[in-house]
Amino acid sequence: MVEHFQRRKLILSDMQKISAVIVCKNEERHIATCLRSLQGVTDDVVVLDNGSSDRTREIVAAAGVRLVIDEWRGYGKTKNAAGIHAKYDWILSLDADEELDEELKNNLKKLQLQNENEVYRIRFKNFLGQKHLRFGEWGNDKHIRIFNRNNISWDKEAVHEKLFLPENVTVKDVKGSINHFTVSNVKEYSEKMLRYALLNAEKYAANGKKSSGFKVFFAPIFSFIKYYFFKLGFLDGWPGLVCAKMTSYYTYVKYARLLELNKVKSKRSKN
């Protein structure tokens, strides 16, 4: 028994004083893998579930991490709400369909985490199904995912949320990768792109941005050319073509919907 507690004490001492914070809904397919990848890195994992109807909550509870049930407020606000429940001030923000690779796990344990004005950027390996996308929009992808909540928080945007970074912040890169299993198939991909396009159109309209027939027609074409040719998406084969076409579709829906919203607003202002 004494040896057991000594081993447990040694394991805990090797962990970072950092809280992993995950916001999810209906992620039974991914959440267990995400949580397993955090073992040995931190003793504090917070999962905020905002309305799952599948086995997500059951899986989280079985994993022995903290489950918080709350409402959906939009991406930025919900992530901030989840961070309030963290044990530590240093936050590792993850999505349920992401996992840490071994190199990243080892390097996270070495971080000093003493300067609140430092944030840490991590390389992403994005997957369409089981295909690692090395080029196009998803290639060379990096995001800041480690920060101190005393100094930094998410903005309040409903979609495409970003971190507020003070002017004196220092961005450091951590070696290793987050594997992001973004979508499993074309059906799931198209549904996700449609959802994000409509949300982003609403966001643009609220911020006073304008669309036009020119943007509706040409922006999707420019998007496809940029990611498929200039960003070498064609080197990813069929998945590269799918991704470039989906981004083009997303761009079309976003500007077409924004144009509709612009017209509705203009009509109301005239009445």
pLDDT tens-digit profile of 227-267?
999 999 999 999 999 999 999 999 999 999 999 999 999 88
The yes-or-no verdict on residue 178 having pLDDT over 90 is yes
- What is the helix (H) or strand (E) element at residue 240, kind and residue range? helix 237-270
pLDDT tens-digit profile of 54-91?
999 999 999 999 999 999 998 999 999 999 999 999 99
The residue whose two tokens read 């612009």 is 262
3-state secondary structure of 154: strand
The yes-or-no verdict on residue 2 having pLDDT over 50 is no
Task: Give the pLDDT of residue 14.
Answer: 65
User: What percentage of the chain carries pLDDT values higher than 70?
Assistant: 95
Task: Give the pLDDT of residue 211.
Answer: 98
Higher pLDDT: 17 or 16? It is 17
How many CB atoms within 10 Å of residue 132? 15
Mean pLDDT of the chain: 93
Task: Give the pLDDT of residue 1.
Answer: 39
Give me 46's structure tokens.
Answer: 């917070």
The yes-or-no verdict on residue 216 having pLDDT over 90 is yes
The yes-or-no verdict on residue 159 having pLDDT over 90 is no
Give the mean model confidence (pLDDT) for residues 3-19.
Answer: 58
Beta strand 90-95 with 118-128 is: unpaired
User: What percentage of the chain carries pLDDT values higher than 90?
Assistant: 88
Class of domain 2-183: alpha beta
Handedness of CA 107, 147, 162, 25 (dihedral sign): positive
Largest Cα–Cα separation, the chain: 78
CB 37 within 8 A of CB 165: no
Task: Give the pLDDT of residue 102.
Answer: 97
* Phi–psi pair at 107, nearest 5 degrees: -75, -30
Grade residue 95 by pLDDT with cuts at 50, 70 and 90.
very high
Task: Give the pLDDT of residue 100.
Answer: 98
Reported pTM: 0.89
Q: Hey, where are the domains in the chain? A: 2-183, 186-270
Task: Give the pLDDT of residue 157.
Answer: 81
The yes-or-no verdict on residue 10 having pLDDT over 70 is no
Task: Give the pLDDT of residue 51.
Answer: 95
pLDDT tens-digit profile of 113-137?
999 999 999 999 999 999 999 999 9
Residue 12's alpha-carbon distances to 2, 8, 34, 54, 260, in angstroms, are: 15, 6, 20, 32, 55
Task: Give the pLDDT of residue 33.
Answer: 97
